[in-house]
Amino acid sequence: MKKSTERQLSPYNTELKLKGFNAFQIEADGAATKMYSRKDFYKICLTTGKSKIHYADRSFEHEGTILFFGNPHIPYSWETISRTYVGYTCLFSEEFFKVSERSESILQSPLFKLGGTPIFDINEQQRDTLNEIFRKMIDEQESEYPYKDELIRNYIQLIIHEAMKLQPAENVEEPKNAAHRLTAVFLELLERQFPIESADAPLSLRSPKDFADALSVHVNHLNRSVKQVTGKSTSTHISERIANEAKALLQYTDWNISEVGYSLGFEYPTYFNNFFKRIAGTTPKSIRDFTA
């Protein structure tokens, strides 16, 4: 029997990938803190509280209620500031949403575009309207209605259309914290590559230049910012995160060592062995043997 090269992830992530959609109330549902593969899902959040949202080129600080649209292809970092933080979130995959040309065109709207402003200040009346839509989505996903996916897509489209009537928020933070902002988004983009789910889909961003290109900044600027904020080099952050993922793959999958190395971007096993020994102080075989 052919061995699977697919990694078994958390039950929440597995269920989310199968359904392609999940909505939950932030203060009431444990799913709000569960891990999922961020590279696969669009996100819409309606939240009340104080927070900062960082992109590579700018940050937004808000207090009150906001409506936020997250694109899995555009890295961002979310910093919650206030103790009280409530609202709703829905996650959906491109495959779940794009069942028609109309749906596809909505994903091309400025809400999900690079350089757009997908954050909107929401007044009390608008919040009540959006709360009701989110509640209907949550109720519908638990129902036995055979066409509930189509109805949920309509609710998502309704939220998108409500947002397109609004003016984007303008609370842009001054560039004095540019190094912190860029570092936060770099770390988010680094983390977004994990967990590795298949040995057949190698890691795409492995060097400081790869990340700098993805963030549209010069590699020297990225390196200076990350070192200034964290005390570690960009290369160190990347290497340590890859090594941690390698340990997890060696411990929790049945992939052979060559497959683990290839999934992390190492074309030859020797390169992977040398890298892992340099960062982890031991060999991949030692980790695998200890686990077994």
Give the residue numbers spanning the domain of 254. Answer: 177-291
100 and 70 in one domain? Answer: yes
Task: Report the distance separating Cα 56 and Cα 183, nearest Å.
Answer: 8
Q: Which of 45, 86, 39 is nearest to 68 (CA)?
A: 45
Q: Report pLDDT for 2.
A: 43
End-to-end alpha carbon distance in the chain: 21
**Token pair listed for 234:** 């960009």
CA distances from 4 to 43, 194, 197 (A): 30, 19, 11
CATH of the domain at 273: 1.10.10.60
284 and 210 in one domain? Answer: yes
145 and 63 in one domain? Answer: yes
Residues 6+ away with beta carbon under 8 Å from 44: 67, 68, 69, 70, 89, 90, 156, 159, 160
Residues of the chain with pLDDT under 70: 1-14, 28-39, 56-57, 100-110, 113-117, 167-176, 291-292
CA distances from 265 to 214, 243, 258 (A): 17, 12, 11
Residues 6+ away with beta carbon under 8 Å from 126: 162, 166
Query: Angle, nearest 10°, between helix axes 284-291 and 234-252?
Result: 40
Domain total of the chain = 2
192 and 111 in one domain? Answer: no
Q: Final residue of a domain: which of 164, 197, 220?
A: 164
CATH of the domain at 109: 2.60.120
Q: Element (H or E) spanning 219, and its range?
A: helix 219-230
Can you say whether residue 87 is alpha, beta or left, with left for phi > 0 and alpha for psi between -120 and 50 degrees?
Answer: left
The number of helices, as runs of H, and strands, as runs of E, in the chain is 12, 6
Residue 18 within a domain: yes
142 and 190 in one domain? Answer: no
Helix, strand, coil share of the chain (percent; to 5): 50, 15, 30
Q: Are 59 and 172 in contact (CB under 8 A)?
A: yes
Handedness of CA 166, 55, 42, 134 (dihedral sign): negative
Q: Which of 30, 137, 48, 33 is nearest to 90 (CA)?
A: 137
Specify which residues 44 forms β-bridges with.
Answer: 69, 90
* Residue owning tokens 């999922």: 36
